[in-house]
Each structure stands twice: as C-alpha cells, then as structure tokens.
Amino acid sequence: MQSAPPEESAGPGVSNGSDGALPAQRGWVKPESYNYEEFSEENARNFSLGFAHNAKSYEFNIEEYGDVGPEIPELEEELFGPPDLRGLDTMGQAYETIEKFEVRQRGDTRIVPIGKTFEDAGLHPVMLRNVQMAGFRVVTPIQRFTFAAIQEGFDVVAVAQTGSGKTAAYLLPILNKLMGKAKKLAAPRPNPATFIPGVTPYVRAEPLVVVVCPSRELAVQIFNEARKFCYRTMLRPCVVYGGGPLREQIDQLVKGCDILIASPGRLCDFIGRPNILTLRRLRYLVIDEADEMLHDDWNEEFETIMRGGGKSSTYTLLPDQDEGNVRYMLFSATFPKALRDLARTHLAESHVEISVGRIGSTHSNILQKFIEVSQEEKKEQLIKAIESLEPCRTIIFVNSKRTADEVDDFLFNKGYPCASMHSDRTQLEREAAMRALRAGKTPMIIATGVMARGIDVQNIQHIINYDLPSIDYGGIEEYVHRIGRTARMGHRGLATSFYTERDEPMASRFVRLLLENKQEVPDFLQMYMPDGEDLVHLKWEEESNPEDRPADANGAWAGDGGNGADGGDGGNAWGGDEGGAWGAGATENGAWGSGAEPVTGGGDSSGWGI
C-alpha cells in the first residue's frame, strides 16, 4: 500500500525536483492513496461490476423488426460520450508520417486498396455512423488493404507498426460483412427484455467471430472497441480472460455471444466446456499480436485454439464445421519465421500478406532520447525526465515487479499521482489502474511488460524506459512495442530511455533504430554507428526480414511506392529508399520539424502538453 504523499510542503529531507515545487504545484493532479488491498481476491465479490466483462453491450430484442437495431441514447452516450464531444477526430496532425510508409503485399491475388476515407470503404450506413461517432476520419494504410482483402474473402496476414490502427483494420470489415445478417447467422439467444436469471433457459455461446490476444488488458481494450462497432448491428460481443470470475463470464456467454474476445488460457478453458461454448458457427478467427502467441509458453493453448477452429483434417474437433468456412487473420507488429511458417501451415494457399513499412520498425513521430546513467542515478534522472514535460499521461517501464513497486512508492511519496501494474496485481487492480489512466485520475503508471503490447490510451505523451529490455528478454522488439504506446494514429510522443552499461549488447540495435527514423545518436552511442554501405543500407536481424521467403508468381513483395496507392516497384524485394530510411516518411527538416526538443510542453503546435 502506498504511504501518504506530501501535502503543502515536502518537509525535511524530501526533494521535490529541481525547482523545489511539489508535483501538484507544477500541474499534476493530486495523488490519491491507492489501496491495493481493496481489490484483493478476498474482496473481489464486492466489486463484481468492476470487471470489464460485465460492461454493458448492445443487445437486440429478437422481436424487433428488421436486421438493424434501434437507437438507445443512454447506451450511445456510454459508448461514444456526450453528443457535444462525440465524433472528435482521433487522428493526430502528424498522420502524414504513417501515410507515407511503403505498403507491400504478397500472394497470387493483387489487392486493390479502398480509398482514404471511411465513406469510400463501402460500410453499412449504421456502421459508418458508429465509425464517425467514434471519431475515426482517415483510413490508415494497413486498414486500406485489409479492408479490401477481408471484403473479398481472403485469409490475411497483416504486419504494421504499433499505433497504425490494426484493431479497426480487422474489426470493422468483419463486422461490416456480418452487418444485417445477425438473424440468419447468429445462434438463438434469450430476449434481454424478458430475461430473468435462473428462470429463463440459458443458451450455448456460438460466436461467429473469435479474437485471441495474449494479454488481459488488450482483450479488454478490443472488447471496448467491439462494443462501439457492434452498436445497432444486433451482434453481441463478450470478453473472457484470466483473473476474472469464471462464473460471471459464463453468465455473460450463456446470454448469447456473436463476437468473442479472449485471452488464450481462458478461451481454451471454455473450448473444453462444450455445453457453454462451441465454435461450430465460427466464421472468422483473428489472432492479434500473433508473434507473441508463438512463444513456447503459448504452444499448447495455441494448438488447442487452432484445432477448435476446425481448419483442416489434422486439426478438426468440430464435425459440423465445413472445410473452408473459417477465415483466418493474423495481425502483428513483427513477422518472425515461426509466424511465417504458421501462415503457410494453417491459412489458405490463397491468403494475402500485407506489410506496412519495415517489419519490426517504429516511426519518426516518436522522439527517442537515450540518457546514459548509472544504476544509482536512475531515480534522480527519473524526476528530471518527468519534469521535462508539462504534466501528461506517462508510462514508466521496468523489468521486474519488485522495481515497479519500488518506483511506484518513490514517486507517490514525491507527490506524483501514480500506480504500479504487473502480473502480481489482481485483475480488479489492473482494470482499475487502466480506467484511472484513461480518465487522467492516475496519469502515471509504472509497469512491467504487461502493458507493452497493444495498449491504446489516448494522449499518452511520454514513455520512460527506467529499465531497457535485455537482448534475452524481448530485445529490440520489446523496446519497439513499449515506445509504441505513445504517438499513436498520427500523434507525436516522447520516449526517454535510461542506458546503463548492462544495455551494451543492445546498443547497435538502438543506434540503427535511431538512424532509421532520422534521429540524433547521442555521443555515448557513436561508437556503435555502422559505416560505409551498412550506414547507407541499414541491416537488420534475419528474424525481422522476409528475404528467406520464396517469391510468388508476381515476384517478391511488390511495393506501392510508399503512398498507400496500388502500384509497383519493379519487383524490388523489400528495398529501402535511397537514404536507407525504409520509407519512414520524415519531413524535409527531419521527423521533428526544426529539431528542437519539445521539453517544455504546454500544448504548442508540436502537440506536446496535456
């Protein structure tokens, strides 16, 4: 439990930063003591409504006329916010950096992308209105190609940088394909208007879509997006994940489920309960953060899930599932060899592979700063890094649960509104921390890798790597995922990393990533600079490159000239631009305009501040 923060003054022996002011005097919200015991397993029964799986979703009355549900103003406000704030554009002003990434595709069929607006996407009018109320305006490159591929009925492998809109890239076209077909395709379910728990007969959940992701927080996040896009579609979303009460999740499933978002372990549990869940109606199986699912820890669960989809005779558990009924989607930010092998094994031969930019890369909207420190200096430097910006949503990454709690206690006692988040926290604690971060009540989170993948919170402007990932535990891919929590969907962000002598094995990788995004390499990393041809054409580890793949009939991975339009590059296999920047789309003066470091915040034209 956090001890009390300072009130009006710091008191003897307590430093409040370089200017002597308390965090509250510099603009941070007043910290509230976070009682971790409140969310203990013993007290969980008193907080059942705090779990994400109990959040309200749209439920249609089976006696309603037509294939589109009516408007429900109260739920609409819960999903999309007050009418006067609804539909605000979520795309940042630096969107051009994402748009200029080169898009490449592989497969026998050439996918012609949709236009650059959602009005060009062929969405059902109700779905289009949901998109507009959610604040989506411009279609990102990965969305333009995956929309078209899914609409045409292909299995899809899609690889794109963090923050490029991958969740909407599969949710929107899949839901749009099912739009107006709920009564025809969905399983019977109780009428919510007359449903009485314990009296009304339950049904078995028979989802049309299953989305699998490796973390609980990502599952909850995707579920919340699905709640928005399922509004008025008559498709009912559910989410199941470890750490939440099994009985309550069963209660949600047996009311009917058309779109199921799940963490692997909990999904496998329900697959083993055929009276609760069956995949015989399944039409789409999406694996999000697919590269993470290939780790040894997930092998058994992954095989169970693929068998549960009934793809082939080798993996059939469901005799009612016809061959070819299920469309498979793999979405990821990296594309290691194991994932390529998986695609060849389980996806249809006619599947399409789409990649945006260099696989495993980040983008120049994130300003990356490396600071050389000793282990003893980290806490002092942490305060300086926090103070370098005006108060803003901040994630501080560490490598251990113990360090997370230590830094949490240190910052809280300095007066900063913070909480820690790691795998030893109860699920209620983790969900409460995420809600507090999104609401700005606790705008600073100290976290282990549980928050490194997929988490999308608006206006996270600062990522601090208190500990950098080691080469044996995540490496450069973990680093890219961490800093990708900021500068999402065309916004800008800052990533500050503390570099110690322990991080030397990763130094050359950090340097290449800085060079790729046209950013300054600090003096202490200059010794790791590539030279000659290696500087012009940056080289990356084989696992991140697709050069070992056989070429298809159209040549290897034809590109589109870097602007998202359908075109060719003469069969250039994953080549970079002339400067070796891999189509990163830096501006004329560098990715950050004048190159001045945005250390003062204040919401200026560079997008900094709260």
Domains of the chain with CATH codes? 51-86+103-356 (3.40.50.300), 366-536 (3.40.50.300)
Contacts of residue 610, Cβ cutoff 8 Å, sequence gap at least 6:
27, 390, 391, 392, 459, 601, 603
Q: Could you give the CA distance from residue 496 to residue 509 in angstroms, rounded to a whole number? A: 16
Q: How many residues does the chain have?
A: 610
User: What one-character-per-residue DSSP string does 392-431 give?
Assistant: -EEEEE-SSHHHHHHHHHHHHHTT--EEEE-TTS-HHHHH
Rounded alpha-carbon distances, angstroms, from residue 97 to 363, 368, 492, 591: 7, 16, 10, 8
- Residue listed under structure tokens 């005006």: 390
Q: Residue 516's pLDDT is what?
A: 86
Q: What does the pLDDT read at residue 586?
A: 34
Instruction: Find the mean pLDDT for residues 210-223.
Output: 92
Q: Indicate the helix (H) or strand (E) that contains 98.
A: helix 95-99
Q: Which amino acid is at 1?
A: M
Higher pLDDT: 314 or 436? It is 436
- pLDDT tens, residue by residue, 364-383: 788 999 999 999 999 999 99
Helices (H), 484-551: 507-516, 533-536
DSSP state at residue 5: P
DSSP 559: B
Q: Identify the top-confidence range among 18-32, 138-152, 362-376, 405-419.
A: 405-419
Closest of 131, 120, 116 to residue 86, by C-alpha? 131
Q: What is the pLDDT of residue 199?
A: 86
Cα distances (Å, whole numbers) of residue 73 to 27, 57, 77, 361: 35, 13, 6, 42
Top-confidence residue, 429 or 549: 429
pLDDT band for 256, please (50, 70, 90 cuts). Answer: very high
Each residue's pLDDT tens digit, 227-247: 999 999 999 999 999 988 999
What sign does the dihedral 61-65-68-71 (CA atoms) show? negative
Residue 454 has pLDDT above 80, yes or no: no
- pLDDT for residue 457 is more than 50: yes
Q: What is the dihedral of CA 459, 464, 470, 476, to 10 degrees?
A: 40
Predicted local distance difference test score (pLDDT) of residue 47: 53
Mean pLDDT of 376-391: 96
